[in-house]
Amino acid sequence: MSSVLTLPSTFSRLNLVPKSLITIPLAFKPLNLLKSHKQQQARSLNSPRLSSLNSFTTHFSTSRSSVSPKPFHDDLVVLGIETSCDDTAAAIVRGNGEILSQVVSSQADLLARYGGVAPKMAEEAHSQVIDQVVQEALDKSGLTGRDLSAVAVTIGPGLSLCLRVGVQKARRVAGSFNLPIISVHHMEAHALVARLIEKELQFPFMALLISGGHNLLVLAHDLGQYTQLGTTIDDAIGEAFDKTAKWLGLDMRKSGGPAVEQIAQEGDAESVRFSIPMKQHKDCNFSFAGLKTQVRLAIASKNIEAKVPISCASSQDRSSRADIAASFQRVAVLHLEERCERAIEWALKIEPSIKHLVVSGGVASNQYVRARLDRVVKKYSLQLVCPPPKLCTDNGVMIAWTGIENFRVGRYDPPPPANDPEDFMYDLRPRWPLGEEYAEGRSEARSLRRARVHPSLTSLVQASLQQQ
């Protein structure tokens, strides 16, 4: 089973080195501990002999052997592995953002069969394909493990059984090639992949992260430092899309969202009067459970049978389904729009220099979502940044890229041993908030499901920075 680390060991994973030191050129010198590595860096700053060596990034060594120095920025090559939910993904990305390869093995067929992710089955599916997915990513890039600078892997949030498959694989690869390992927050990766696409995107910026399991509005102050402006008090929007698709008897092979988006184009979005969630709550939180119920009731009232696939429906039945899909999509997105407007107002008060709203996560591949949110940001003279659909849904590129961003500032762990002992306790964080809640934005509408297991990424980063 997965392990949950206590706070002190959690801290020890964040090997933070002040940014100012990281970017300063260093000569490579094998050291036994990161701590002494940091001291070495500090000592190196005034050394004229070392300052002439300007092409290397920070290095460290383990008690086993030293890691070869890797050139900075462009020559970093990171393998990213993602298994937090139902997609097994791997990619290889260069420090300059060049995507050398990306491979995704989707469990959409399982999703279609069971209408949701069954953790044990998802774990088995990941285990079956993980070796192949990683190998394919290496083959497509034309590289071998020896060419890599580091391995990045999602450690949370997500299903612990699934996360474990990716972490195990990442440690095996890193162990075999003596590579540092970077632990990645899945939601940070959804946000940061936008910086790979849009080179102008600087901190601070806002991000709306909308996927099957998460619905987050955050203010990104810096790498690893986020203020959570809003989250869902029950279901995420992607879950609402998936259930709507299932109840409407749509083809779920590419997951529910794209199926709803497609049939919605045939429907009248004003025909079913769904109410917008949480109108009375003047905050930035989300709720989709009530809207799901409204959809279910509308489907029942039209006698739509999910068992009858849309491809076999009569034309009248098909048009009722399309009307419900379009009306659901309109109201679900209105809810996003309303929350985004308020969040932008809050965020501009906290960080007036914000220029961008990033919209990422699987649901951000929806063209209607993009178009509506584009209108919202324009009102505030902001720019919308949406990664291309392939980088919005779960993928290895976002993990590799987030690994690169973290590696550059010294946030990585030393290479693991070639083989972990059988009773090794993996650091998996199934419930791991990205940021601390914005105090003024606390909602009275709370769900019991919000129990926290891990301290947020932001609190860990801040605590580590204070220790330096």
- By CB under 6 A, name the binding residues for ligand KG4: 85, 211-213, 238, 241-242, 255-258, 261, 361-363, 365-366, 393-394
Of 129-137, 309-317, 390-398, 450-458: span binding Zn ion (CB under 5 A)? 390-398
Q: Which two tokens stand for residue 95?
A: 């420090």
Q: 92 — phi, psi (to 5°)? A: -125, 125
Q: Which does 438 bind (CB under 5 to 8 A by kind): ligand KG4, Zn ion, none?
A: none
Q: Which does 261 bind (CB under 5 to 8 A by kind): ligand KG4, Zn ion, none?
A: ligand KG4
CA 31 to chain centre: 33
Q: What is the β-pairing status of strands 205-210 and 436-437?
A: unpaired
Please state the closest distance from residue 294 (CB atom) to ligand KG4, in A. 18
Q: Which does 82 bind (CB under 5 to 8 A by kind): Zn ion, ligand KG4, none?
A: none
Q: Which is nearer to ligand KG4, 119 or 145 (CB)?
A: 119
Q: Which does 328 bind (CB under 5 to 8 A by kind): ligand KG4, Zn ion, none?
A: none
Whether omega before 204 lies within 30 degrees of 0, making that bond cis, reads: yes
Tell me how far apart the alpha carbons of residues 152 and 29 are, in angstroms, rounded to a whole number. 24
Q: Which does 238 bind (CB under 5 to 8 A by kind): ligand KG4, Zn ion, none?
A: ligand KG4
Question: In the window 242-271, what residues touch Zn ion (CB under 5 A)?
Answer: none
Please state the closest distance from residue 193 (CB atom) to Zn ion, in A. 10
Q: Which is nearer to ligand KG4, 361 or 430 (CB)?
A: 361
Q: Which two tokens stand for residue 161?
A: 């059984």
Angle between the N-to-C axes of helices 237-247 and 289-301, in degrees from 0 to 180, rounded to the nearest 10: 10
Q: Which does 258 bind (CB under 5 to 8 A by kind): Zn ion, ligand KG4, none?
A: ligand KG4
* Contact with Zn ion (CB under 5 A) among 44, 106, 211, 406: 211
Q: Which is nearer to ligand KG4, 306 or 350 (CB)?
A: 306
Number of residues that bind Zn ion (CB under 5 A): 2
Q: Which is nearer to ligand KG4, 85 or 161 (CB)?
A: 85
Q: What is the residue type of 308?
A: V
Q: Which is nearer to Zn ion, 211 or 285 (CB)?
A: 211
Of 103-111, 148-156, 206-214, 407-415: span binding Zn ion (CB under 5 A)? 206-214
Q: Which two tokens stand for residue 145?
A: 């493990």
Exposed, middle or buried, 40 (CB in 10 Å: 0-12/13-18/19+)? Answer: middle
Tell me how far apart the alpha carbons of residues 408 and 25 are, in angstroms, rounded to a whole number. 12
Q: What is the residue type of 179?
A: L
The answer to whether 162 and 126 are in contact (CB under 8 A) is yes
Tell me how far apart the alpha carbons of residues 243 and 380 are, in angstroms, rounded to a whole number. 33
Per-position DSSP letters for 240-273, written without gaps between them? HHHHHHHHTT---TT-HHHHHHHHHTTS-TTSS-
Question: In the window 68-87, what residues touch Zn ion (CB under 5 A)?
Answer: none
Q: What is the residue type of 449?
A: R
Q: Which is nearer to Zn ion, 60 or 286 (CB)?
A: 286
Exposed, middle or buried, 213 (CB in 10 Å: 0-12/13-18/19+)? Answer: buried
The answer to whether 101 and 120 are in contact (CB under 8 A) is no
Cα within 13 Å of Cα(188), Cβ side: 33
Q: Which is nearer to Zn ion, 394 or 427 (CB)?
A: 394
Please state the closest distance from residue 91 (CB atom) to Zn ion, in A. 14
Q: Which two tokens stand for residue 68?
A: 């070869």
Contact track, Zn ion, 3-32, x by CB under 5 A: ------------------------------
Please state the closest distance from residue 389 (CB atom) to ligand KG4, in A. 7
Q: Which two tokens stand for residue 62?
A: 């383990």
Tell me how far apart the alpha carbons of residues 149 and 68 are, in angstroms, rounded to a whole number. 9
Please state the closest distance from residue 43 (CB atom) to Zn ion, in A. 42
Q: Which is nearer to ligand KG4, 261 or 283 (CB)?
A: 261
Using the CB atoms, write b or e for 142-155: b if 16+ within 10 Å: ebebeebbbbbbbb
Question: In the window 392-431, what residues touch Zn ion (CB under 5 A)?
Answer: 394
Tell me how far apart the alpha carbons of residues 361 and 340 are, in angstroms, rounded to a whole number. 15
Please state the closest distance from residue 254 (CB atom) to ligand KG4, in A. 8
Q: Which is nearer to Zn ion, 235 or 394 (CB)?
A: 394
Please state the closest distance from residue 87 (CB atom) to Zn ion, in A. 8
Please state the closest distance from residue 366 (CB atom) to ligand KG4, in A. 3
Q: Which is nearer to ligand KG4, 16 or 263 (CB)?
A: 263
The answer to whether 207 and 220 are in contact (CB under 8 A) is yes
Please state the closest distance from residue 346 (CB atom) to ligand KG4, in A. 25
Please state the closest distance from residue 98 (CB atom) to ligand KG4, in A. 23
Residues lying near Zn ion in the complex (CB under 5 A):
211, 394
